[in-house]
A and B are shown apart, each in its own frame.
Chain A
Amino acid sequence: MEAAHEQTFNEPGYSIHVIETEKYKTNTIMIKMRAPLEKETVTMRALLPHVLQSGTEHAPSAAAFRTALDELYGALFFADSAKKGNEHVLTFTMEAANEHYLNGENDLFDRALALLADVLFRPKLKEGLFPEKTVQQEKRSLQQRIRSIYDDKTRYASLKLVEEMYKEDPYALPAGGLLEKVEPIDPSSLYAYYQKALVEDVIDIFVIGDVNAQEAVKKIKEYLPFSDRSAVMTQTETGAVSKEVQVIREMQDINQGKLNIGCRTTITYDDPQFVAMQVSNGILGAFAHSKLFMNVREKESLAYYAASRLDSHKGFVMMLAGIDQKNYDKTVQIMNEQLEEMKKGNISDLEMTQTKALLKNQLQESADTARGMVEVLYHNISSGTNRPIDQWLKDIEAVTKEQAAAAAQTISVDTVYFLSGKEEI
């Protein structure tokens, strides 16, 4: 495969990564700000991206800001917050058309960068703080967003499982913030926190597109003058393995039961066994040839979705399926059996070949989008490892059945969460 040409500018806690490529019809700038996940700050951090895009000095309302974007040929601006292990990451993305494809346009990249810099460094202020009205509006929107998680039952079930499983662990905190922490926020506490985040967060900036790396770094430093800082790594603990499996049942007025089984593993992204863990999760439930799909869905017709997911920044594995509630016991049993099969090393040559082929395919495909490329790089950066794509591909190929089984042996079921309808099982 074509290796991405990456050039990095590095200072403690502040790095710029440039990938020169002509592959896309757009140029992308992404800023990632990372800090420890904490109960006291997670809600303010979830609110910040929304307040920041409500207006800048030059474009003093959300509409004015959106107008500025539209005039850059519908430049895409996107800001969100997400968890990476026990860290909270704010991402600001600006994607603008490469002017090469437009008749009679130039300097779109510079204008997009300037607009992005305005969002972060020159937000609209009133008496030196975020405007009261904006903060109130965005607080209300945030409350609505948090409340509406309840409406998406599949997502709700996943979040609930994590909450139940990681009591006393920051990982239980939802990246989107806590409802009860929204109300106390005011313009001055939010602004003060933002100033602190600007100085203390670990910053990574990515530029991907038809650019010259040296020039891009120079422009980024000029437009985005983040001050000197120290790089502090948050240690993510995978958490103690509980002796007894916790079983939680919640009932709502719904049609389909959502079964989510949460497991712990001690293997995280920076572990030498990580790639074996990835293969192990692949055989267990990541694909349409995987054990969970084949046994829960294809053999027994119990579910439409039956899968497993791995969050390797935490060491969290989740098995999930949407089922009729009367099939709860049967499904739990089959899922546990499949996990046991993994641990015993009952893995066919075909399962190994298929899983490796699809993991490699996934990794290579991610390099086809700017966002995918950034995510792969950021996995490495945020976990302090160095596993370039080419090495990663080789590592996947080298995993043996014994290694996959050994990785599975570190998985232990912690919590079974079942959201079901109100009729009796």
Chain B
Amino acid sequence: MEKNVFDQMNETVYHEQLDNGLNVYILPKKGFNKTYVTFTTNYGSIDNEFIPNGESDFVHVPDGIAHFLEHKMFEKEDGDVFQKFSSQGASANAFTSFTRTAYLFSATSNVTENTETLLDFVQAPYFTEQTVEKEKGIIGQEIRMYDDNPDWRVYFGLIENLYKHHPVKIDIAGTVESIADITKDHLYTCYNTFYHPVNMTLFIVGPVDPDAMMQLVKENQSKKSFPEPIPVERRFPEEPEKAALEHHEIRMSVNTPKCEVGFKMPLSDRTGVDKLREELAANLLLEMLFGKTAKFYEKAYNSGLIDDTFGFDYTGERGFGFALVGGDTDKPEQLAQRIQTQLLEAKEGGHLTKEAFERARKKKIGTTLRAFNSPEFIANQFTRYQFNGLNLFEIVPVLEKMTLEDVVDFAKEMIDEHRFSSCFVLPKETA
């Protein structure tokens, strides 16, 4: 077991890769009541074309299957795993993102039993035609719930605009139609390909003894046998550099129009610290241009163009990256125009001042420190960074070394109007 001490953050992380390939990380948190454990596979909604374990040809699986599989993992021959966690005083959950599926619990007691339950239920799939059919009604309602949510619709609407072929444009839960095609055989195919321990990470954070926990996980894993790991072969369609669609409008039953403007990142082959710098530069850039202390925000707010729903977000995962800016507004065209102008001016170095940079950097450092109060943040983000070959604990030191020139350079590279797109949600009545 290796021990990594991060002095500045006053945190220690223990790590070991087990014989079966599973990566186990333990971060002891003194004084906390809660232990939070995530068991994550490096598999999400975008992984819809791959060579199944033991076969030789690529297959294409129905949209929404990673999320469907996540739901079905909880059901076993002897009932629902939620019941077991509840009996052991743990609150369990799971989520599926573009690139990850995570199973988790938090508990203030029975941490040993709950950790074993987590490992055991994710490593023992049980799918039948009957239970798969039953789930279609439940997930159908989940999809409809999101269909009525204008914030989700404008967010996904914009991603659909940006990408022509890449599966990031497919809604994580799929559609009512696409999940209708899912069978138990599909679920087993995906499970057997992506849930091998070598493709997974267990992260434990809480008031635990690292030696005892590691021992527990090792013993649990040594009782199970897994096939020899085969590297997963995924395939993604070739994606043009430019945005697929410049603009799109969605009509919904809303009072206030919603406007999002975004751009997709150029493909880069950066890895490690360079990749982290790219992500941090994108975040700093957006903060400098659109944060609450930027002139843009002040002007737009004071003139009534935006309200405090205005914000921005950067997503960078394996194989794709994009930035989004926007919020509620009465004048979506004008807001979209202003955001695009602001970005293009920044490409030429506009708005990127020394003061704005220092402020954005300080804010990012403080926000990161604060996030280390949260076991959820630590476990989920550490895993995310680890799957991308990065280290969460590098953020503050890398930020401390970054300069304004870095952001100016990245702005030149990232911003290109051919990669811009906008999406509005507009009230239905005025259609």
Contact = CB atoms under 8 A, between A and B. Distances in A.
Interface of A: 1-2, 21-26, 50, 61-63, 66-67, 69-76, 95-97, 100-103, 133, 137, 140-141, 144-145, 147-148, 150-154, 252-256, 287-289, 297-298, 301-305, 322-324, 350, 353-355, 357-358, 360-362, 364-365, 367-370
Contact of A66 (B32, B253, B293): B293
B292 A256 contact: no
B144 A322 contact: yes
Contacts of B80: 288-289, 298
A304 B139 contact: yes
Contacts of A256: 141, 144-145, 147-148
Nearest to B30: A23
A62 B92 contact: no
A147 B89 contact: no
Contacts of A103: 8, 400
Q: For chain B, what secondary structure do more than half of its interface residues adopt (helix, strand, loop), or is it mixed?
A: mixed
A252 B253 contact: yes
Contacts, number: 203
A101 B8 contact: yes
B58 interface: no
A255 B144 CA distance: 6
B271 interface: no
A58 B80 CA distance: 58
B328 A354 contact: no
Contacts of A289: 80, 82-83, 86
Contacts of B92: 288
Which of B9, B253, B364 is packed against the most chain A CB atoms within 10 Å?
Answer: B253
A56 to B, nearest CB: 15
A226 B298 CA distance: 32
Interface core residue of A61, A287, A288 (most chain B CB under 10 Å)? A288
B108 A95 contact: no
5 nearest CB pairs, A to B = A74-B366, A301-B137, A73-B366, A357-B89, A74-B363
Interface stretch (B120-128, B155-163, B368-376): B368-376
A7 B307 CA distance: 40
Contact of A365 (B106, B141, B359, B373): B106
A100 B10 CA distance: 10
B362 interface: yes
Interface in B353-390: 359-360, 362-367, 369-370, 372-375
Given A71-B362, A145-B307, A304 B142 contact: yes
A23 B256 CA distance: 42
A256 B308 CA distance: 28
B148 A254 contact: yes
A368 B135 CA distance: 35
A108 B8 CA distance: 17
Contacts of A97: 365-366, 369-370
B32 A354 contact: no
A92 to B, nearest CB: 16
Given A1-B108, A148-B309, A361-B108, A70 B362 contact: yes
A158 B360 CA distance: 38
Contacts of A350: 83, 87
Contacts of B359: 67, 70-71
A73 B428 contact: no
A294 to B, nearest CB: 8
26 contacts: A62-B298, A63-B295, A63-B298, A70-B359, A71-B359, A74-B367, A74-B370, A97-B365, A97-B366, A101-B10, A101-B369, A151-B256, A151-B258, A153-B253, A154-B148, A256-B144, A256-B147, A301-B135, A301-B137, A322-B141, A324-B144, A355-B86, A357-B87, A362-B91, A364-B33, A368-B32
Given A289-B86, A368-B33, A254 B109 contact: no
B307 A151 contact: no
B256 A361 contact: no
A154 B304 CA distance: 27
A74 B90 CA distance: 34
Contacts of B5: none
Contacts of B291: 66, 70
Contacts of B142: 304
Contact of A322 (B32, B137, B145, B375): B145
A229 B366 CA distance: 37
Contacts of B9: 25, 101
Given A21-B31, A137-B301, A368-B33, A70 B82 contact: no
Contacts of B136: 301
Contacts of A301: 134-138
A141 B360 CA distance: 25
Contacts of A254: 148, 253
